[in-house]
Amino acid sequence: MSLFLLNDIVVFIFIEVILLLLLFISEFSVLKVLKYWDFSATTTFQYALEKRNYLVNTIIYFTVSVKIVLFIFFVKSLDELSLLVPGAMCATGVIGANSYGNILLLFKIFMLFLLSIWIIINKLDLESKVFPYIKEKYYLFSFIFVLTCIEFCLELFYFMNIPLSVPVFCCSTVFKLDNLPFELNTSGLLIIYYLLFVVILISSYYKKSIISFFANILFLFTSYYAVTYFFGTYIYELPNHKCPFCMLQKEYFYVGYFIWFSLFLGVFFGISPYIIESITLKKYTYLHKYCILFTTIFVALSTYFVVSYYLKNGVLL
Amino acid sequence: MFFIKRILIIFFIFLVIIIGDLVTYDYVEKEDKIKEISSKMTSISPSFSFASKEYKKFVYDK
Amino acid sequence: MINKNFVDFSILLLLKDKKEYLFSFFIFTFIVFLASSILFISDSIKHDLFIALDKQHQIIVKNTKSGRYTPLSEEHIDSILQISGVDNVKGKVDGYYYFAQDRRYFHIVVDESLDEHSMIISSEIKSILAKFKYTTQFNFLTQDGITSLDIKKVIKSNIISNDVILVNEDIARKILNMDEDEYSYLDVLVPNNSEIDFISLKIVDLYPDIKVKTKNDLKSDYEYVFYYKGGIFMILYIVSMISFFILLKNQISSVFGEKKREIAIFRSIGFAIKDIIFLKFIQNSVVALCSYFLGVFLAYIFVFIFGAPLLKNIFLGHDASHIIFTPIVDVKTLFVMFIFTVIPFLASILLPAWKIAVEDMSEVIK
Amino acid sequence: MRSKILIRNLYKIYNEKKENEFFALKNINLNIKCGEIVIIKGISGSGKSTLLSLIGALSKPSSGDILVNEQNIAKLPDIFSSQYRNEEVGFIFQSFNLVDGLSVYDNVKAPLVLSNINQDELKKKINLALEVANIAHKSQQMVSNLSGGEKQRCAIARALVNSPSLILADEPTANLDKNNSLIFVDILKKFKQLNKTVVVATHDTIFDNLAFVDTYVNIEDGAII
């Protein structure tokens, strides 16, 4: 039995190949532009290059929208795969089934971040009349293209190496409390979590991109641990159920999607101003307000479960 | 807009037919029937789904 | 950001050129229709099978000799009963009777409540017997001559009862030519679910020739069959889809090519390249979405209301005309279909749309 | 008066640096003021259509500057040049360039769909343009059923619908009979009253010696004489 014959995986790989093909076509244009671009020239060739710009834009817009849909599909499929993979109760077991799983998941999130940053730079580029960032944006594109190829290989390796006879670990064994980094305890983690939240709010409000950048990166990791080891237990209402994936399931009203997406969006809007500023060398503070919005949603949502549990039961877990 | 509305109306009619069919179908009865018969018989070999009559014979003869 | 006037106008243009889009619309609808019919059928079969599995025994023991199934004896029952943890072992009689006139097998299943002169048959079998003028009774040809049974009742065909004849145990032994102490399979009752795997290993230890299947084995067997064979369908599908999309791309390129002048006119009155691409994208999304929904709806009606004639036989063989599929609509299936069909459709028009959009506008000035 | 279009050292070369190199325009310098009506005269192939398409940003020059409203449109990226065509320029083409299969109303609507205006405003603008071009009575007809003169009036309505300040007409009377050509001359007068800047490229003698025309430009072999 091969996983490559599963409906979901077949469809997933098929769409990924299509995207890769499209990106390959645009990479061809990108290389041409990088090599011959000369804005001051008035040749037909230069005008043709300018037109190629729109092809790349269209393809990237398409890719990003499809990638977002595919990302949800990917997570959903992993959830379903847990029925097939022995020992797996939820996506945790499937993701942890081999060493590629976690890297792949991180990669996918990172790719969405990069693609979104590309779209923002592209927007700035098109708003100006002289294509000021065209080289930067195309170098970034080439980087994204290489990463997409690596991502695709990782996907193949990952699906090839999911064991279907040997049981994998389930979330109750993977996530144990003593797994917290730096020998933190739960209260320490929570202090850092809320402290970082305040730092992000302040830095975003005063539009300090660099502080927001570092705070958000730290916040991403802190939140991961905080949600998995603390807030998650209140969502499941079980003190020992520590898992970042189970909350994506229907039993918990898909609340995981809201939690994780608000976190990712918040972090994205928090770190992208600094990256964009360092590429375009201009102030870009437009996104900070979204960072505040989504981070607040995330923190409110995660805190809500603890508070509502406390109000209902009068005790904490 | 007119076109979109017309399409939506057509789809809506389809949807009503389908939902009507889904709602009126007696799942409980079918489930009972299946359970009743399956409690009487042996394990049902999975190979027969997707298979033709000849294939079934082959499986059983084996 | 999406401009309503612009969308309206795109659809206006789409309706103007509807002839050019009809081809892709119909082919695409057909593809979606076929694919979703197959997924609907397999989802429905799967649903019924899992219900059937619910009532199955925890451990099923069958005997084999040189790789073929052979009957089990009382001795097997006794020794399995000795294993601690086993609550009860029931011997069961079950098998296939070959009906030579129609060249097919009937599944003989024991029903204790029946007397020695009657049987219960499925509606599928009823219509087969009716072909040979057996309307009230049927004669089984056995080693000891003819055994004649009255048809007491007809039950509805479903996925597992399709070829079933229910008879009394003694009659079943007679028809299947089995001795008094022979059993087709054993049904082992284990009160503690966590012991199932351990006990099945023990049984195999006792008799190396015996095949043991637990309920979980069966479950994963089903999963296996459906995922696996579903995948084969999918791969066949991809081949046909790829050829369709190549066709589509060429067809769209030629349609767009004829519209060169029109595009140049739009460009001259202020449509940017991105607007033209967006215009084409909207038009094709409308075509793709309409075909998608139409295809899915038609597939539903075809499979669950009309019972999927022709297609059904691919899954169930020729003797399945009485089976009615349980209507199961899984949102996940529809989502998979959507990703699988609509996204490649839209991807295949990006390039032609861009090509036509960047055509130079010299055409308009003459 | 403020100059509307300022053209400096404009060249348009086809097949540059190849054997069949061809100079469509050579060193054009032109200054057109706001509200002026300019007739560019020349035989066919003299480059007047090329000049018009450069002013309308339909194609890009090989060298030189075209300043419209003091903004150089020669090297604008596509998004901006399209916006310029949409908002600043109304075209009237020789072959009318209407979209067959659409009604007069929908043809006139086309330039407006890019801007996100509400339905009432859209209708008002279209009806106004149809009135001015005197084609309102045929608004629901398919353009393929119209006569040559009506087609042109439809094209004029489309050119006017976004109230552009600049109207470019390329051989507007070439496909019209004498009567309709005279009607077009009347419409030119109307443009003058509306204070539009109009550039007409033509070889029709009907435009000779008109009192309301501000400038006549003769062009021959791609150069102004």
pLDDT band (50, 70, 90) for residue C229: low
Quote the pLDDT of residue B50.
40
Please answer yes or no on whether A129 and D76 come within 8 Å at the CB atom: yes
**A7: which chain C residues are within 8 Å (Cβ-Cβ)?**
39, 227, 230-231, 234, 336
Distance (Å) from the C-alpha of residue A43 to the closest C-alpha of chain D? 7
Percent over 70 (pLDDT), chain C: 95
- Asked whether the predicted pLDDT for residue B62 surpasses 60, the reply is no
Quote the pLDDT of residue A152.
94
Chains C and B touching, counted as 3 or more CB pairs less than 8 Å apart: yes
* Separation between Cα atoms, residue D88 and residue D164, nearest integer Å: 5
Nearest alpha carbon to residue C271 among C363, C169, C357, C183:
C357
DSSP single-letter state for residue C303: I
* Separation between Cα atoms, residue A93 and residue A95, nearest integer Å: 6
Pick from A44, A54, A129: CB nearest D80: A129
* Residue of A1, A14, A25, A129 best to disrupt the C interface, most CBs of C under 10 A: A14
Distance (Å) from the C-alpha of residue D41 to the closest C-alpha of chain A? 28
Helix, coil or strand: residue D14: strand
Task: Say which residue the tokens 């596509």 belong to.
Answer: D78
Distance (Å) from the C-alpha of residue B22 to the closest C-alpha of chain C? 6
DSSP single-letter state for residue D98: -
In a domain? residue D28:
no
Nearest alpha carbon to residue C199 among C190, C186, C209:
C190
Nearest alpha carbon to residue C134 among C114, C119, C155, C144:
C119
Q: Does A126 touch chain D (CB under 8 A)?
A: yes
Q: Which residue of D has its CA nearest to C360?
A: D59
Please answer yes or no on whether C235 and A84 come within 8 Å at the CB atom: no
* Residue of C337, C350, C355 best to disrupt the A interface, most CBs of A under 10 A: C350
* Separation between Cα atoms, residue C260 and residue C9, nearest integer Å: 18
Please answer yes or no on whether A58 and C340 come within 8 Å at the CB atom: no
Q: Of residues C348 and B44, which shows the higher confidence score?
A: C348
Q: Of residues C143 and D29, which shows the higher confidence score?
A: D29
Average pLDDT, chain D: 90
Domain residues for the domain of D159 are 36-61+77-220
Helix, coil or strand: residue D25: strand
Quote the pLDDT of residue B52.
40
- CA distances to A43, A173, A227, C198, D73 from A189, in Å: 61, 21, 10, 44, 59
* Separation between Cα atoms, residue A289 and residue A267, nearest integer Å: 12
Pick from D95, D106, D114: CB nearest C275: D114
Nearest alpha carbon to residue A196 among A217, A225, A224:
A217
Pick from C13, C360, C365: CB nearest D170: C365
Please answer yes or no on whether D80 and A50 come within 8 Å at the CB atom: no
In a domain? residue D143:
yes
Q: Which residue of D has its CA nearest to C276?
A: D114
Please answer yes or no on whether D63 and A129 come within 8 Å at the CB atom: no
Q: Which residue of D has its CA nearest to C278?
A: D114
- Asked whether the predicted pLDDT for residue C364 surpasses 80, the reply is no
The token pair that represents A71 in the structure block = 């990302």
CB C143 within 8 A of CB C175: no
Percent over 90 (pLDDT), chain A: 33
Count how many pairs of residues, chain B against chain C, have C-beta atoms within 8 Å. 123
- Asked whether the predicted pLDDT for residue A177 surpasses 80, the reply is no
* Residue of D22, D99, D104 best to disrupt the C interface, most CBs of C under 10 A: D99
Find residue D8's DSSP bridge partners. D65
Please answer yes or no on whether C354 and A57 come within 8 Å at the CB atom: no
* Separation between Cα atoms, residue C23 and residue C194, nearest integer Å: 58
Pick from A42, A43, A131: CB nearest D77: A131
In a domain? residue D46:
yes
In a domain? residue B58:
no
Nearest alpha carbon to residue D93 among D31, D159, D26, D181:
D159
CB atoms under 10 Å from CB of D36, counted, come to: 19
Please answer yes or no on whether C305 and B21 come within 8 Å at the CB atom: yes
Helix, coil or strand: residue C268: helix
Chains D and C touching, counted as 3 or more CB pairs less than 8 Å apart: yes
Question: For position D158, which CATH number holds?
Answer: 3.40.50.300
Express each pLDDT in D110-154 by its tens digit: 999 998 888 899 999 999 999 988 899 999 999 999 988 899 999
Number of domains in chain B: 1
Please answer yes or no on whether C270 and D82 come within 8 Å at the CB atom: yes
Helix, coil or strand: residue D145: helix
Q: Does D175 touch chain A (CB under 8 A)?
A: no
**C265: which chain D residues are within 8 Å (Cβ-Cβ)?**
97-99
**A15: which chain C residues are within 8 Å (Cβ-Cβ)?**
339-340, 343-344
Helices (runs of H) and strands (runs of E) counted in chain B:
3, 0
Q: Does C332 touch chain A (CB under 8 A)?
A: yes
Nearest alpha carbon to residue D122 among D85, D161, D167:
D161
Distance (Å) from the C-alpha of residue D9 to the closest C-alpha of chain A? 14
The mean pLDDT value for A160-189 works out to: 74
DSSP single-letter state for residue B44: P
pLDDT band (50, 70, 90) for residue D15: confident
Find residue C104's DSSP bridge partners. C99
Please answer yes or no on whether D82 and C267 come within 8 Å at the CB atom: yes
* Separation between Cα atoms, residue C309 and residue C302, nearest integer Å: 8
Nearest alpha carbon to residue C339 among A16, A149, A20:
A16
CB D91 within 8 A of CB D56: yes
Pick from B21, B39, B48: CB nearest C304: B21
Domain residues for the domain of B17 are 8-38
CA R_g for chain A: 22
Find residue D7's DSSP bridge partners. D30, D66
Quote the pLDDT of residue C317.
66
- CA distances to A225, D42, D115 from A188, in Å: 11, 85, 55
Q: Which residue of A has its CA nearest to C224?
A: A1
CB C40 within 8 A of CB C304: yes
In a domain? residue B27:
yes
Q: Of residues C281 and C333, which shows the higher confidence score?
A: C281
CB C27 within 8 A of CB C244: yes
First to last CA, chain A: 43
Pick from A8, A59, A69: CB nearest C350: A59
pLDDT band (50, 70, 90) for residue C19: confident
Quote the pLDDT of residue A30.
93
- Asked whether the predicted pLDDT for residue B58 surpasses 50, the reply is no
Q: Does A64 touch chain C (CB under 8 A)?
A: no
Please answer yes or no on whether C358 and A5 come within 8 Å at the CB atom: no
Name the helix (H) or strand (E) containing D52. helix D48-55
- Asked whether the predicted pLDDT for residue C322 surpasses 90, the reply is no
Express each pLDDT in D171-207 by its tens digit: 888 888 999 999 999 889 988 988 999 999 998 888 8
Please answer yes or no on whether C52 and B35 come within 8 Å at the CB atom: yes
- ipTM score: 0.89
Quote the pLDDT of residue D110.
92
Express each pLDDT in C155-212 by its tens digit: 887 777 778 888 888 888 888 888 888 888 888 888 887 788 888 888 888 888 888 8
Number of domains in chain D: 1
In a domain? residue D30:
no
**D78: which chain C residues are within 8 Å (Cβ-Cβ)?**
272-274
Edge-to-edge strand ranges of the sheet holding D22-33: D22-33, D3-14, D63-68, D71-72
- Asked whether the predicted pLDDT for residue B16 surpasses 90, the reply is yes
Count how many pairs of residues, chain C against chain D, have C-beta atoms within 8 Å. 92
* Separation between Cα atoms, residue A193 and residue A191, nearest integer Å: 5
* Separation between Cα atoms, residue B24 and residue A37, nearest integer Å: 66
* Residue of B10, B17, B44 best to disrupt the C interface, most CBs of C under 10 A: B44
Average pLDDT, chain A: 86
In a domain? residue B62:
no
Q: Does D16 touch chain A (CB under 8 A)?
A: yes
Chain B residues 3-62 with CB within 8 Å of chain C: 3-4, 7, 11, 14-15, 17-18, 21-22, 25, 27, 30-31, 33-35, 37-44, 46-53, 55-57, 60, 62
